Amino acid sequence: MQAASPEIKTQLQSRLSRIEGQARGVKKMLDEDRDCREVLQQLNAMNAAIQNATRLYMRAYARECLLNDAAPDDRALVVDELLDLMERVR
C-alpha cells in the first residue's frame, strides 16, 4: 500500500525541507549566542511546522490508507484506528 499520493508526498517533502532549514537556523543562532527569546520563537515555529506536516500526513493516511483498505463493515475499526493514531500524535 502506498502511504501517500505523489502530491501529498511532494508537499510533505517540501515542508520537511523547510523544517530542516529552520533547524539549521536555530543551530546557527545558538552558535552566535543569540537572544533566548529569538531562539524560543524559532523553536516554536519549528514545532508548529512539524505539527502542520503531521496533520497533512495524517489526513492523507486517513483518506488514502484507512478508507481505501477498509471493508464497508469495518467502519468502526477505521474510526478506532484513526482515534488511536490521533492520541499518539499529540
Question: Cα(44)–Cα(27) distance, rounded to whole angstroms?
Answer: 14
Lowest mean pLDDT of 58-62, 74-78, 83-87, name the range.
Answer: 74-78
Express each pLDDT in 12-60 by its tens digit.
Answer: 999 999 999 999 999 999 999 999 999 999 999 999 999 999 989 888 8
pLDDT at 85 over 50: yes
SS (H, E, C) 43-73: HHHHHHHHHHHHHHHHHHHHHHHHHHHCCHH
pTM over cut 0.85 = no
Tell me how far apart the alpha carbons of residues 81 and 2 are, in angstroms, rounded to a whole number. Answer: 18
Q: State the Cα–Cα distance between residues 59 and 49, nearest whole angstrom.
A: 15
Find where cell 488511536 sits. Answer: 84
- What pLDDT is attached to residue 71? 72
